């Protein structure tokens, strides 16, 4: 289907619901959301004020769903949303918003601005105003099965490698396993340590798990670009596989938006609740640890800090788990300023890292993360999102900082008590 302005406006009309109407009704233009925004804070440019990024959506709400707005429209007094305007807004909605959710936490009238950006992107993509790179990633996710174009043979190659390295069999398509493990493309390409660490931890904990050949990819470009039909198609692969294999729980990998896509948006995209649980890997590991099934020995002597991925912590509620786990294996764990639910985004969430046009801005706003890390004085940074990890590695390199970035699962595996 070709994208047109009319489709975009229709889509805006469709996504506007009671929460959005209450949000626009409540906004008093206080501008406090700007103070919470990574992009405004680093650049000082007023156009990055979060609520301003929604201006076209707000006008559609006003013109279509309020009496005064409708009267204005009838009398020709209103200012219709145009293609030129949406072109101007595209970088505001995609390049300078990672849907990190900080603004939604501080808005004094309670506006969930992030929720509105997510919805607005539906109309932006329907009207042909999504970034080229994100359109490409979404097409690959739908046609090939992964936004980075990875196919099952690449995963198989990694499985072989992991099996050779650990001597542990990686189960594939195992009926009746307790857990279905998903991965992100980033982990398959850049961080094979994840699968290796997981195999070892699960073997030691006696966990029954499996991969699925037709549903290994956890990421979902559809929710980033704002195309619910495609997001549904991508998430349905996981749901179908989980139901076919009759697993009790699907494990979302170290990836932020994948967790949002499966855990929170998934059932709504599918239009039905899931018969299985969805957990982030840190929740699973924390549960194993609490049950005494995840035993570690020794502690990492390096001073280290933890970066909360936005979709895992602020938008996902996984905050205490990484801290409990880190305290098991780290001798000198230091919190960065604003850690936890008010942590600052790495700058590459919400599809920004997949959008090459946004790269200069992304590197500029990384200065916030740089300051946070510097405040802790550490040279080891732990996180639980492969996208945050690659974005931070690029940022650290750009600013020539000598900081190593590790996934938490991988760090735990380093101190795992094995074979006892």
Partner 1 sequence: MNHLDLLTFARGSALNWALMIFAAGVVLRLFEIFGLSRKPDLARPRSDSPGSGWRTMLSRSIPPQGMLKRDPVTYIGGYVFHLGLLLAIFFFAPHIEFFRSMTGLHWPNLPTALVDASVVAAIAALGVLLAHRLNNKVKRMLSGSGDYLAWAVTLLPLLTGYMAYHHLLFEYALMLSLHIFSVELLLVLLPFTKLFHTFSVFVSRWYNGDFFGRKGVAS
What residues make contact with partner 1 under the rule CB under 8 A? 16-23, 25-32, 34-36, 40, 46-47, 49, 51-52, 65-68, 104-112, 115, 263-268, 270-274, 277, 313-317, 319, 338, 341-342
| DSSP code of residue 52 | G
* Residue number, 102 or 307, with CB nearest to partner 1: 102
Give least dist CB 136 to partner 1, A: 29
Residue 243 near residue 275 (C-beta atoms within 8 A)? yes
Residues 110 and 100: their CA atoms lie apart, in Å, by: 16
Give least dist CB 380 to partner 1, A: 26
* Residue number, 115 or 194, with CB nearest to partner 1: 115
Q: In what order do the strands lie in the sheet with 404-407?
A: 330-334, 300-306, 380-383, 404-407
Residues 12 and 89: their CA atoms lie apart, in Å, by: 14
Partners of 211 in beta bridges? 172
* Residue number, 316 or 322, with CB nearest to partner 1: 316
Residue 32 near residue 40 (C-beta atoms within 8 A)? no
DSSP sequence for 227-296: -HHHHHHHHHHHHHHHHHHT-SEEEE-S-HHHHIIIIIIHHHHHTS--SSEEEEHHHHHHHHHHTT-S-B
* Residue number, 45 or 132, with CB nearest to partner 1: 45
Give least dist CB 264 to partner 1, A: 5
Nearest of 182, 181, 185, 184 to residue 149 by alpha carbon: 185
Give least dist CB 63 to partner 1, A: 12
Taken in order 351, 354, 355, 361, is the CA torsion positive or negative? positive
* Residue number, 249 or 411, with CB nearest to partner 1: 249
Q: Enumerate helices (H) and strands (E) in the chain, giving the number of each.
A: 22, 8
Give least dist CB 281 to partner 1, A: 16
What are the percentages of helix, strand and coil residues in the chain, rounded to 5? 55, 10, 35
* Residue number, 99 or 205, with CB nearest to partner 1: 99
Residue 256 near residue 262 (C-beta atoms within 8 A)? no
Give least dist CB 22 to partner 1, A: 4
Residues 38 and 106: their CA atoms lie apart, in Å, by: 13
* Residue number, 119 or 200, with CB nearest to partner 1: 119
* Residue number, 250 or 396, with CB nearest to partner 1: 250
Q: How many CB atoms sit inside 10 A of residue 206's CB?
A: 8
Give least dist CB 378 to partner 1, A: 21
* Residue number, 194 or 259, with CB nearest to partner 1: 259
Give least dist CB 388 to partner 1, A: 18
Q: How many CB atoms sit inside 10 A of residue 29's CB?
A: 8
Give least dist CB 49 to partner 1, A: 5
């Amino acid at each position: 289907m070709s994208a047109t302005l009319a489709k975009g406006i229709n889509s805006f009309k469709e996504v506007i619901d009671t929460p959005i109407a209450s949000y626009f009704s409540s906004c008093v233009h206080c501008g406090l959301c700007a103070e919470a925004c990574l992009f405004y804070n680093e650049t000082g440019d007023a156009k990055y004020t979060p609520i301003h990024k929604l201006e076209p959506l707000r006008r559609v709400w006003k013109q279509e769903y309020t009496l005064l707005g409708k009267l204005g429209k009838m009398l020709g007094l209103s200012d219709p949303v145009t293609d030129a305007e949406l072109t101007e807004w595209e970088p505001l909605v995609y390049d300078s918003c990672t849907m990190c959710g900080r603004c939604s936490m501080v808005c004094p009238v309670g506006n969930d601005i992030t929720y509105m950006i997510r919805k607005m992107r539906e109309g932006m993509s329907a009207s042909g105003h999504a970034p080229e790179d994100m359109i490409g990633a979404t097409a690959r996710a739908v046609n090939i099965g992964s936004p980075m174009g990875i196919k099952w043979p690449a995963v198989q190659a990694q499985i072989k490698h992991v099996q050779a390295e650990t001597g542990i069999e990686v189960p594939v398509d195992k009926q009746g396993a307790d857990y279905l493990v998903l991965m992100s493309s980033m982990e398959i390409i850049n961080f094979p340590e994840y699968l290796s660490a997981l195999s070892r931890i699960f073997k030691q904990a006696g966990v029954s798990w499996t991969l699925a050949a037709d549903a290994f990819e956890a990421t979902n470009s559809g929710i980033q670009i704002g195309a619910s039909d495609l997001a549904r198609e991508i998430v349905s692969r996981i749901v179908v596989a989980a139901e076919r294999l009759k697993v009790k729980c699907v494990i979302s990998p170290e990836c932020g938006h994948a967790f949002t896509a499966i855990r929170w948006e998934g059932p709504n995209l599918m239009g039905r609740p899931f018969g299985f649980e969805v957990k982030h890997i840190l929740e699973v590991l924390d549960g194993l640890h609490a049950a005494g099934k995840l035993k570690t020995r020794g502690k990492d002597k390096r001073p280290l800090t933890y970066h909360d991925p936005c979709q895992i912590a602020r938008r996902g509620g996984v905050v205490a788990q990484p801290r409990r786990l880190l305290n098991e294996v780290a001798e000198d764990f230091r919190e960065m300023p604003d850690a936890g639910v008010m942590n600052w985004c790495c700058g590459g969430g919400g599809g920004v890292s997949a959008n090459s046009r946004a790269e200069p801005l992304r590197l500029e706003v990384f200065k916030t993360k740089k300051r946070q890390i510097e405040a802790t004085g550490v040279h080891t940074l732990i996180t639980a999102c492969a996208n945050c990890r690659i974005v931070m590695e690029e940022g650290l390199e750009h600013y020539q900082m000598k900081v190593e970035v590790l996934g938490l699962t991988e760090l735990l595996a380093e101190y795992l008590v094995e074979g006892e």
